[in-house]
Amino acid sequence: MEDYGRRLLFVEETSLYNRAVLGAFLPSNVWEPVPHFFQTWLRNYIGVILMYFVSGFLWCFCIYYLIKAYFPKEGQSLDDAVVGCGLFVSGS
């Protein structure tokens, strides 16, 4: 009986997370009729997609705006800029 109570609490908790995430991104008439398993899958999918785009944006912002690592200065050749960044360039 205790196992059933834990399962019930787990389903209630995940339903709360589903309502919080899916309610923010989709109208309720779209996700409420869907079974709980697919609601959870959709919640995780939305979370992963958001993490992917946020981390990609932060990486680009740091590399291209804050550090300006890959942009050569005016009058500097690309080979010199790449060597200056610490990347290896084979001489050919």
Specify the pLDDT at position 1.
Answer: 62
* Length in residues, the chain: 92
Specify the pLDDT at position 48.
Answer: 96
* 3-state DSSP percent of the chain in helix, strand and coil, to 5: 75, 0, 25
Specify the pLDDT at position 85.
Answer: 56
* Euclidean distance between CA atoms 13 and 43, whole angstroms: 13
* Euclidean distance between CA atoms 55 and 27, whole angstroms: 26
Domain boundaries of the chain, sorted by first residue: 2-84
Total-model pTM: 0.68
What amino acid is encoded at 44 in this protein?
N
Banded model confidence at residue 66, pLDDT cuts 50, 70, 90: confident
* Euclidean distance between CA atoms 78 and 43, whole angstroms: 44
* Euclidean distance between CA atoms 23 and 29, whole angstroms: 10
Specify the pLDDT at position 67.
Answer: 73
Q: What's the whole-number mean pLDDT along residues 11-17?
A: 94
